[in-house]
Amino acid sequence: MVKPGERFAMIKIANNALENCQNVGQVVALINDEFATDATPEMVAASYAQSAAVDAGFDVTEENVEAHLNFLADFGAKFDFAVALKLALEA
């Protein structure tokens, strides 16, 4: 698990990496490529789910985050769903 002091740095890394993604396919590729970023796949998925919920005009709730994590998983992203959900809701 990510230590509290490392969490902020990983969120920043994940958010920076996501800024370069233009579509969900690129997000999935980022999550699935272990060398694409220093952030964990779960942190990238969590950051994506948070941003996607807010960008769609919704609050960052368990239901909304789950929907966006499911969307990523349906497109082939490989990450620990429970860990990503927990990370997204901790922010």
Predicted model pTM: 0.85
What's the pLDDT at 9? 67
- 17-75 pLDDT per residue, tens: 888 888 999 999 999 998 888 889 999 999 999 999 999 999 999 999 999 999 999 99
Specify burial of residue 89 (Cβ count, 10 A radius: 0-12, 13-18, 19+).
Answer: middle
**Containing domain of residue 85, as a range?**
4-90
- Provide CB contacts within 8 A for 27, sequence distance 6+: 18, 21, 44, 48, 72, 77
What's the pLDDT at 63? 96
Q: How many domains does the chain have?
A: 1
What's the pLDDT at 50? 92
